[in-house]
Amino acid sequence: MDNTLKDFIAYFQQLAEKHVELKSFVHGAAGRIISGSRSGLEYPLLWLETPTLGLSDKDGTSPYGQRTSAFVVLHNSDVGNYADQDAKWALTEALALDVLSYLRRDKKARTINFDLNGQLEAVATLTVDNEIGWRYEFALGDFVPLQFDVTRWK
């Protein structure tokens, strides 16, 4: 995988499509997760937050790019039905751990360089879908194909 936004999103989209229980994949800014109303999504879903990209340029070769992002596994739940909410908390935690196991597998195979030092944190949204789930921040590092292209300048 190249360290491009397009490849980054595609990696997580195919991850969600390969999982037997995840029904949807969404990506966007973190603010979209915690605000606004929505429905029509299939749950449970994997939401990928739009990453930041930090660059480290040490010796004039291709700079090292560190993408920092998070994924969120969400499920809708019945308002006031605590048994349903408890079941959805457990289900989404298991799904988040599945996603982490996939990332760890690819890290161990050295196909991708994830930094998986972090913690799962509980998420509850105030949307019409009353979503609950788990969020995990991570970083992905790799060299960035940063090349000056004279044809893109006047």
User: Could you tell me the CATH number of the domain that includes residue 51?
Assistant: 3.30.70.1700
Q: Is 135 part of a structural domain of the chain?
A: yes
Q: pLDDT (tens digit, 9 = 90+) per residue, 31-47? A: 666 555 466 678 999 99
Q: How many CB atoms lie within 10 A of CB 40?
A: 7
Q: Is 152 part of a structural domain of the chain?
A: no
Query: What span, in angstroms and rounded, lies between the C-alpha atoms of 143 and 132?
Result: 35
- Pick from 129, 140, 99: nearest CA to 17: 99
- Pick from 91, 75, 84, 82: nearest CA to 123: 75
Q: How many secondary structure helices (H) and strands (E) does the chain include?
A: 3, 7
Q: What is the number of structural domains in the chain?
A: 1
Q: Is 153 part of a structural domain of the chain?
A: no
Q: Is 71 part of a structural domain of the chain?
A: yes
Segment 15-19 mean pLDDT: 97
pTM: 0.84
Q: Is 150 part of a structural domain of the chain?
A: no
Q: CB of 134 within 8 A of CB of 123?
A: yes
Q: pLDDT (tens digit, 9 = 90+) per residue, 54-65? A: 777 777 677 777
Residue type, position 47, single letter? W
Q: Is 151 part of a structural domain of the chain?
A: no
Q: pLDDT (tens digit, 9 = 90+) per residue, 120-149? A: 999 887 666 788 999 999 988 776 667 778
Domain of residue 71: give its range: 5-145
Q: Is 106 part of a structural domain of the chain?
A: yes
Q: Is 15 part of a structural domain of the chain?
A: yes
